[in-house]
Amino acid sequence: MSTTVGEAISRVRNTLKAVKEDPFLTDRTIYYSILKYGQSLMKREDNQLRLMKISNIFKTMPYVELIEVDKVDAACHGVYSGCYFKRTKEKLPEVLTGIMGPIFRTVSSVDGSIELFRTDPGTFVSMTKTTTFKYNKRQYFWFLDGHLYFPNLIWDAVKIEAIFENDVETCDSDKCLIKQDQSLNMPDYLFSEIEQYVIKELTMSIQVPTDGPDDGQNTLR
């Protein structure tokens, strides 16, 4: 079972108390320091191609609605005239960026039975101009300006699995989990290293910024 946000905060706080009093450190201060160093180290791990094997660091958006757009919006100039496009209706939450760009584990049909292949507009245009493209049965997507784009896709929605930089609301049986009970979504084997950086930062100065982004539902204090 992966470490929760509350468990990570408690671990850092207990270690910190052993080396220095922390009367001014809120849970939120510790949490955002963990996020900062955790995301930095995860980018390093992605560069070494380690993250895709760790299921519990990815979050799933099970139903992401799509809308039709034109090829100009999809940045797909030069594509053959019969091609049509869809994109995600809303911008996606910020996705952690790795060596190959935003880290998506899978983009698929809502039931997960058909997985799409990642590409980019230029590569897709080049593929459409080959004589063998008409035999290509794969479905493709690309990421652009916060949206995913899909050529020749008839679906109304997709399922997305990715590493998101901020929280994607976690609900179970229509009851949303409070932040402390949510998974930290970082590899457990990295936490000792994350903790070292966090402790070093927080012990260097008592006057640590205590506010991070607040959506009005943040339960950390």
The pLDDT tens digits of the residues spanning 78-137 come to: 565 567 889 999 999 999 998 888 999 999 999 999 999 999 988 998 888 888 988 999
Residues 6+ apart with CB under 8 A from 7: 184
Q: What are phi and psi of 204, to 5 degrees?
A: -70, -30
Neighbours of 165 (CB within 10 A): 15
The answer to whether the predicted template modeling score (pTM) of the entire model surpasses 0.85 is no
Q: Is pLDDT of 1 > 70?
A: no
Task: State the pLDDT confidence band at 77, using cuts at 50, 70 and 90.
Answer: low
SS3 content of the chain, % helix, strand, coil (to 5): 35, 25, 45
The encoded tokens of residue 88 equal: 């995600």
